[in-house]
Structure 1
């Protein structure tokens, strides 16, 4: 199951019509980003009913999912991994088995998502600053992408989904809100500093408060633009 919220994850697993009541199911594979608490709770609930839970969040974006080249991050008992691996191979281009405990893959996925959102936010802030300074933003991106500032946001997300003003990456802002909130929960649980994470969390929460929750995550650009009193010019179709 790959579900958009912790509430729907719990419902599919353990509600009145959830998989917990299935008579044939032996293994429940979670493909979503739910955090260690939620996955641990479902593992306990389903485990008491003889159903194994395997943790396997996916990453790579919508297009790679359609292309069956998505990356799967797997964790759970080795014997369960061997059982479900053929299923995962049917839709994933890469599988990274990182540990034998359910929840370890959640931590890895949350780290990945937080870094992805942070890259996007920092790239957008940089481009907005350049635009306000009167720099040609296409030339600025060329500098970034040939230098040490290069990242996935500067290479693809900003040029393909912000510079054309379409804001159509395909990831809803409310999903980013869930991800940055899960980051804070995991960081607090493990006692890890959140200097950068807190700032990105604040930006995403601000975007949702301004009404961008249902919109695309690249609309973070609109928040930065409004607060900076400048707009990134449309340079691509």
Structure 2
């Protein structure tokens, strides 16, 4: 069985390292806070003297750190992982970090005959402890397959995203979308309450509707954007534009600031001016594609299978 080094035992790292230990992998651990290492040491892990020392003794080395500065220092700084890693060793960074950084780090390890994966996670502290984590992995496919049993020890949804840096890109996209959704939820719920509806009632109506089921993400995108097809419409843009107009009108009536909703309305207006009113409302996606200079197409994805995701993965809601 391969040996595992784990550096960074905070909110996320501690839970992940604990689950690796439960899978009976020999472990060496390190954290600036002695108290965070002790539970793992009590269960048989050894305390490492430095990142370089851990890398010299372990087949794979994980880091779970606050951000890019810490990742760079621990990975390539004095006494870092790069200094000690042996040929064939694998360095896996679990941090939410900068994709460009891991892409710059990887060739330095390759020059030593070692490998690098970026594998940021999503699920929070409770998910790290309970093994309810999504793990988004970038790097060489063969290296991913080699370390996947260890990733499975702390993540129940391990996904290969592509070449080095792909995992970090996916994690940043995931969190950015999450922040945008939270702002839209904040705007909607404050509007509902100020317009005279009980908070729980607004919340229940939203989460039990199409928004709460995320039908546009799971089934809608594969059926429209991924195929580049917006006709026949599931819900026409002209109807969607009417609804967002009524919502922003209500916001002005009750003096509720709604920046995200107003941007969405302006994009709907711009799309209407393209003559897209009868098309599916998701056609507004084309405006973003034009602005970004890229198309988002994956015509091989089956919309029916994608739409079943929530019913078959209830913990993903």
Smaller-chain TM-score range? 0.5 to 0.7
Q: CA deviation at 1:87?
A: 1.1
1:64 corresponds in structure 2 to: 127
Provide the rounded CA distance (Å) in 2 between the counterparts of 1:44 and 1:151.
42
2:111 corresponds in structure 1 to: 48
1:108 corresponds in structure 2 to: 170
1:10 corresponds in structure 2 to: 72
Q: TM-score, normalised by structure 2?
A: 0.45
SS in 2 for 1:37: helix
**Which structure 2 residues correspond to residues 115-194 of structure 1 after superposition, within 5 A?**
115-150=177-212, 192=292
| Pair 1:90–1:64, CA change in 2 (3 A) | same
Q: TM-score, normalised by structure 1?
A: 0.60
CA offsets 1:151-180 (integer angstroms, 9 cap, x no match): 68xxxxxxxxxxxxxxxxxxxxxxxxxxxx
Provide the rounded CA distance (Å) in 2 between the counterparts of 1:137 and 1:192.
37
CA offsets 1:54-94 (integer angstroms, 9 cap, x no match): 12111122211110121111221122112211111111111
> Could you say which structure has the larger radius of gyration?
2
1:201 corresponds in structure 2 to: none
1:38 corresponds in structure 2 to: 101
Provide the rounded CA distance (Å) in 2 between the counterparts of 1:149 and 1:90.
33
Provide the rounded CA distance (Å) in 1 between the counterparts of 2:116 and 2:83.
15
Residues 122 and 134, structure 2, Cα contact 8 Å, conserved in 1 = yes
SS in 2 for 1:134: coil
CA offsets 1:87-144 (integer angstroms, 9 cap, x no match): 1111111111122x10112222222111111111111121122222232111111111
- Alignment partner of 1:85 is 2:148: yes
The answer to which structure, 1 or 2, has the higher relative contact order (CA under 8 A, 6+ apart) is: 1
CA RMSD of aligned residues (A): 2.0
SS in 1 for 2:96: coil
| Pair 1:151–1:80, CA change in 2 (3 A) | same
Provide the rounded CA distance (Å) in 2 between the counterparts of 1:146 and 1:97.
31
| Pair 1:23–1:105, CA change in 2 (3 A) | closer
Provide the rounded CA distance (Å) in 1 between the counterparts of 2:119 and 2:157.
12
2:222 corresponds in structure 1 to: none
Deviates more, 1:76-85 or 1:4-13: 76-85
SS in 1 for 2:212: coil
| Pair 1:62–1:23, CA change in 2 (3 A) | closer
| Structure 2 residue runs without a partner (length 5+) | 1-62, 215-290, 294-317
Provide the rounded CA distance (Å) in 2 between the counterparts of 1:120 and 1:151.
15
Matched pairs, number: 154
1:169 corresponds in structure 2 to: none
